[in-house]
Structure 1
Amino acid sequence: MRIPRIFTGQVLQAESHFDLEPAPSQHLARALRMQEGAPIILFDGRGGQYAATISNVGKKHVSVLTGTHQDADVESPLAIHVGISISRGERMDWVVQKATELGVDQISPLITERTEVKLKPDRAEKKLHHWQQIATSACEQCGRNRLPVIHPLTSLSNWLDDSHAELKLVLHHRAENLPTEANPPQSIDLLIGPEGGLSADEIQLAERASFRSLRLGNRVLRTETAPVAALSILQARWGDMAP
């Protein structure tokens, strides 16, 4: 049986005994039905992980005892920041989950001209928390010990103004293939539009901000498919995935 990996917001240290937060406690006790003495792996997002043992399963909390620190690191050497227009239904959830599995460093949900989803501030805050939970669960599943940063919802123009990556790419089906860089970049900002695509004005705005238009073959990909394809290609070209 695979040993469960659990994220905790508490700062971990070796040989420490404490109660986990309610959410991971319920997951271990109710969903996984873990018992006292069962092994788990804990990480706190600061790098590395700790082997741990469940010391008590209570009604509200699961208590654990940590062992030694394990210097495990599966992070990509390529820092990728994805800026993507938010979409309806579970599409954005899918993007956050798969982008996390594919090793992105940061994700920024964007409002663009053709964004169909309208979120009030309180709803946007709840969505942000929801996406952070999805990223956390994805890290638990894929073996990452550092959580990607999920930024608050912002406008496309603000995101472009804050872009400082070595290589800046905007997906556009009427563009060129992936450029061949003499020196592999260490950081990439990747801009992806909504279902209807970015407008011509938005493409020009991105290009004025030093973004290079990029296409992913001859077919037009859906907004939830495009980041998976692009990230896989980028990680294979310059990251840690075998081509």
Structure 2
Amino acid sequence: MPRFHIEASPGLATGMELTLSEGVSRHVQVLRLQPGDDVHLFDGGGQEWRAAVVEMGRKRVSVRLEAPVDNDRELPVAVTLAVGMPANDRMDFVVEKATELGVRAIQPLMCERSVLRLDGDRALKKVAHWQAVAVAAAEQCGRSVVPVIHPVMTLGAWLKAEADGAALGSRPVRHRAVLSLREAVPLSDWLGEQPQVVLRAAPSEEARGGRQRNGESTTQFVFLNGPEGGLAHAEEEAALRAGWRSVSLGRRVLRADTAPLAALSVIAARYEV
């Protein structure tokens, strides 16, 4: 069944007719779908519908929402990856594969050893590009929730914002770990030290009707990973002073674009239900 991402709207309901965006309409036309053919539409926030093509225009396609789809493919815990942006197209790879593995948010960071440095319009364009990569990956892997790609920040500014948010109680308690190149507790052991994780319950009947966001989680993990060459000693020490824990992914040195995906895979293997 072809799947397409549409803009989120609180007023969407079964029986409503929609005009798809020009980009999505183009995909429908390329597939040579005809009136009466079915597609799946998801809004990136956890809602998905089966829809039928109603009309094929020259540039726009109209569809009718037929029924909500029960499509809960989220991890039972919410994971944020805060990554020192790797250079070239490796950040695209991280965003794509992390989306497939179930990440909920990605925070791009500029660190002391970062090769890729972004600010102003260039940073905004890159974040928009990475958000589009996440949308495409969600379409492919079947998720109805699209991870959020946050604006680029320096590591120092982000750690301060994290500490300020925790002090104000504006965010839920999160388990925070630095993916470290130094001697550190193995990730699996660190997970065993955490308070008992409350896994997200299966979606209710109301959620299946598209009236409640899928993917809600009562437990959150945040993993901080450096760019090529890892975090500088002072950067890791700053995180540790803020209450983070250094964890190890094993005896081998992993690349900047491999380590966060390895951590996410461990989380999925441990908590996926």
TM-score where L is the length of structure 1: 0.92
What is the CA-CA distance between 1:120 and the residue it aligns to? Answer: 3.4
> In 2, Cα distance between the equivalents of 1:128 and 1:10?
19
Tell whether the 8 Å contact from 2:118 to 2:152 is kept in structure 1 after alignment.
no
What is the CA-CA distance between 1:226 and the residue it aligns to? Answer: 1.0
Tell whether the 8 Å contact from 2:181 to 2:230 is kept in structure 1 after alignment.
no
> In 2, Cα distance between the equivalents of 1:183 and 1:120?
39
Question: 1:13 aligned to 2:13?
Answer: yes
Question: 1:49 aligned to 2:58?
Answer: no
> In 2, Cα distance between the equivalents of 1:176 and 1:135?
31
> In 2, Cα distance between the equivalents of 1:206 and 1:10?
35
How big is the alpha-carbon RMSD for the aligned residues of Structure 1 and Structure 2?
1.6
Question: 1:200 aligned to 2:233?
Answer: yes
- For residue 98 of structure 2, give the secondary structure of its aligned residue in structure 1: helix
- Inter-CA distance 206–10: structure 2 relative to 1 (3 Å threshold): closer
> In 1, Cα distance between the equivalents of 2:112 and 2:32?
47
2:186 matched residue in structure 1: 177
- Inter-CA distance 93–233: structure 2 relative to 1 (3 Å threshold): same
Tell whether the 8 Å contact from 1:47 to 1:71 is kept in structure 2 after alignment.
no
- Inter-CA distance 184–4: structure 2 relative to 1 (3 Å threshold): farther
1:24 matched residue in structure 2: 24
1:128 matched residue in structure 2: 127
Residues 13-39 of structure 1 show CA distances to partners (whole Å, capped at 9, x for unaligned) of 111112101111112212x33233221
> In 2, Cα distance between the equivalents of 1:162 and 1:184?
27
Residues 46-79 of structure 1 show CA distances to partners (whole Å, capped at 9, x for unaligned) of 3231101112222211111110112321111211
Tell whether the 8 Å contact from 1:83 to 1:159 is kept in structure 2 after alignment.
no
Question: 1:155 aligned to 2:154?
Answer: yes
Task: Work out the number of aligned pairs and report it.
Answer: 237
What is the CA-CA distance between 1:155 and the residue it aligns to? Answer: 1.1
1:216 matched residue in structure 2: 249
The higher-RCO structure (CA 8 Å, 6+ apart) is 2
Identify unmatched segments of 5+ residues in structure 2: 167-172, 198-218
> In 2, Cα distance between the equivalents of 1:158 and 1:33?
49
Residues 163-196 of structure 1 show CA distances to partners (whole Å, capped at 9, x for unaligned) of 3542111111222202122523411110011011
Runs (4+) of structure 1 exceeding 4 A deviation are: none
1:117 matched residue in structure 2: 116
- For residue 193 of structure 2, give the secondary structure of its aligned residue in structure 1: coil
TM-score where L is the length of structure 2: 0.82
Mapping of 1:68-147 within 5 angstroms?
68-147=67-146
Identify unmatched segments of 5+ residues in structure 1: none
